[in-house]
Copies of this chain bind each other. A is one copy, B any other.
C-alpha cells in the first residue's frame, strides 16, 4: 500500500480544494509524484526542471548522450491516454518519452474499452494502469486526472499521472514549457526575475494564460500586463490571487502602448470553440494582432510567444525575426516534459551527474 500523501484525504475533500491548496498533496519530500496542476510547482522545482531540461536538450544532441538518456527508463512503459484529440500535445509527450527510453502505448478513445460493457471508469483506469508505469492523460472533464491520481494512489500498485490537459481547467506542462521558454530567452539577461510580461487576446478562457500567470508569481519583481477587450479580460480569481501575492499588474485594452514596455509579449488566439452562441466571433480583435510594424517598437531583447495554434494574431512575416520564439516553444515543450518524467521517476540526479562528467 502506498504512503502517498494523496491517499491521506478523501477524494471528496481533495476535490473541494483550490488548485493552490492541492499542491502539498502532490509533492512528496520535494519530489512531484503526480503532475496535475500548475500550482504544485514551487520556485526551486521550476528552477530544477529548467536546468534539467537544459541538460536533457544538450545530451540529446549527441549519440552518446541520447543513448544514456534512453537507457534511463528503457524498462518502463508509459500510456498516453488521450480521451480528447490533441495531436501536438500527444506528439510532444511521445517524443519526450522516447527521449528517456520509455516505451509508449497509445489509447485514444475510451469508447473502444470495456466501458460499454458496464465497467466503471475507475475499474477501466485501474486495469489500464496494470500494464503501465506512467499515465499521461488528456480528458475533457475538469478534475478527471486528479480523480484518477487519487484512485491510483490508493491501490497497491500506484502509478504516477501527468495531466496533459483537462477541459478548460489545467494544462500544467504547457505552463512549464512557457516558463522554460522565458528562462531560456532571458538566460543571459538576468532570468525571469524583474521582467515585464504582457498577455494579449482571449484572456478570459485561455487556460495557458491563467496557469502561466500563476507560475510567474513565483518569480521576484515580475510585472504583468493583461491586454484584451473588456469582454475577454482575465478572470477575477486570477486578479484576486495576484493581489494576495502582491504582484503588480495592469489591465488595459491599449496594445500599442504596452508593446515597447515589455520583455515578453504572450499572444493568444480567440478560444471560440467554447462559445455556445458564437458571441465572441462578433468581436473585432484585430487591434490585438502583432504585426510586422510592431517589431520596430519591440525591445531588442524582448520575445514574442504564442502557445499555438495561431490564427491571425501574429503576422507570418514576424516568424523570421529572432525575437519570435513560438517555434522554439514547441521544442522546449518536449525537453521540459522529458525533464518532468525523469524527475517523477527519480532519475534526475543521474542525468545531472552524467552531464557534468561528459559535457
| Residues B127 and A114 in contact, CB atoms below 8 Å apart | no
| Residues B85 and A75 in contact, CB atoms below 8 Å apart | no
Chain B CB within 8 A of A309 CB:
yes
Which A107-121 residues sit within 8 Å CB-CB of chain B? 107, 110, 112-114, 117-119
Q: A60-B75, A334-B131 are in contact. Are A117 and B309 (CB under 8 A)?
A: yes
Contact pattern, A 111-148, Cβ under 8 Å of B = 1, otherwise 0: 01110011100011011101110000000000000000
What residues of chain B lie closer than 8 Å to A215, measured between beta carbons? none
Q: A66-B74, A75-B67, A131-B92 are in contact. Are A308 and B114 (CB under 8 A)?
A: yes
Which A307-335 residues sit within 8 Å CB-CB of chain B? 308-311, 327, 330-331, 334
Chain B CB within 8 A of A291 CB:
no
Which A68-109 residues sit within 8 Å CB-CB of chain B? 70, 74-75, 77, 79, 85-88, 91-92, 94-95, 98, 103, 105, 107
Minimum CB–CB distance for A176 against chain B, Å: 17
What residues of chain B lie closer than 8 Å to A94, measured between beta carbons? 105, 131
A98–B131 alpha-carbon span in the complex (Å):
11
**Residue in contact with A131 in the complex, picked from B91, B113, B118, B156, CB distance below 8 Å:** B91
Chain B CB within 8 A of A246 CB:
no
Closest chain B residue, CB of each to CB of A107: B87
| Residues B75 and A127 in contact, CB atoms below 8 Å apart | no
What residues of chain B lie closer than 8 Å to A63, measured between beta carbons? 75
Closest chain B residue, CB of each to CB of A108: B112
Closest chain B residue, CB of each to CB of A334: B131
| Residues B124 and A309 in contact, CB atoms below 8 Å apart | yes
What residues of chain B lie closer than 8 Å to A70, measured between beta carbons? 74-75
| Residues A118 and B269 in contact, CB atoms below 8 Å apart | yes
A148–B122 alpha-carbon span in the complex (Å):
37
Q: A67-B75, A107-B87, A131-B334 are in contact. Are A327 and B126 (CB under 8 A)?
A: yes
Chain B CB within 8 A of A273 CB:
yes
**Residue in contact with A91 in the complex, picked from B107, B126, B309, CB distance below 8 Å:** B107
**Residue in contact with A308 in the complex, picked from B86, B123, B309, CB distance below 8 Å:** B123
Minimum CB–CB distance for A24 against chain B, Å: 26
| Copies of this chain in its oligomeric complex | 3
Q: A308-B119, A311-B119 are in contact. Are A87 and B113 (CB under 8 A)?
A: yes
| Residues A87 and B128 in contact, CB atoms below 8 Å apart | yes
What residues of chain B lie closer than 8 Å to A66, measured between beta carbons? 74-75
| Residues A88 and B113 in contact, CB atoms below 8 Å apart | yes
| Residues A105 and B114 in contact, CB atoms below 8 Å apart | no
What residues of chain B lie closer than 8 Å to A309, measured between beta carbons? 114, 117-119, 123-124, 127
What residues of chain B lie closer than 8 Å to A119, measured between beta carbons? 308-311
A252–B131 alpha-carbon span in the complex (Å):
36
A130–B327 alpha-carbon span in the complex (Å):
8
What residues of chain B lie closer than 8 Å to A327, measured between beta carbons? 126-127, 130, 155-157
| Residues A105 and B95 in contact, CB atoms below 8 Å apart | yes
A232–B198 alpha-carbon span in the complex (Å):
63
**Top 3 A-B residue pairs of the complex, sorted by shortest distance between their CB atoms:** A119-B309, A66-B75, A114-B309
16 contacts between A and B (CB under 8 A): A70-B74, A77-B95, A88-B113, A88-B128, A91-B107, A91-B131, A92-B131, A94-B131, A95-B131, A114-B309, A117-B311, A119-B308, A123-B309, A124-B309, A126-B327, A131-B330
